[in-house]
Amino acid sequence: MAFRADEAASSGFDRVKKYLIPVTFSPEVRAESEAALLDIIDELGPVVESYPSWHPLVSKHDPHHPETTPSERTGYQGLDHTRYFAHGFITCPYGGVERIIDSAFAINHHCASITAEELDVSFYAEGAKPVLVKCEWSEPLSLGKLVPKKLAVPLMLEQELPCWRWSSRAERWETMRPYLLGEPHGSRSSLFVDQETALAMKRAYMAMVESGMFGPLKMD
pLDDT in tens, the chain (220 residues): 456 888 988 999 999 999 999 999 999 999 999 999 999 999 999 999 999 999 999 999 998 999 999 999 999 999 999 999 999 999 999 999 999 999 999 999 999 999 999 999 999 999 999 999 999 999 999 999 999 999 999 999 999 999 999 999 999 999 999 999 999 998 899 999 999 999 999 999 999 999 999 999 987 6
Asked if residue 54 lies in contact with residue 156, where contact means CB atoms within 8 angstroms, the answer is: yes
- Alpha-carbon distance of 60 to 170, in angstroms, equals 23
Q: Which residues contact 85 (CB under 8 A, 6 or more apart)?
A: 40, 41, 44, 45, 46, 47, 48
Going by DSSP bridges, is the β-strand pair 82-85/88-91 parallel, antiparallel, or unpaired? antiparallel
Closest CA to 53 of 170, 150, 190: 190
Which phi and psi (to 5°) does residue 92 adopt? Answer: -125, 70
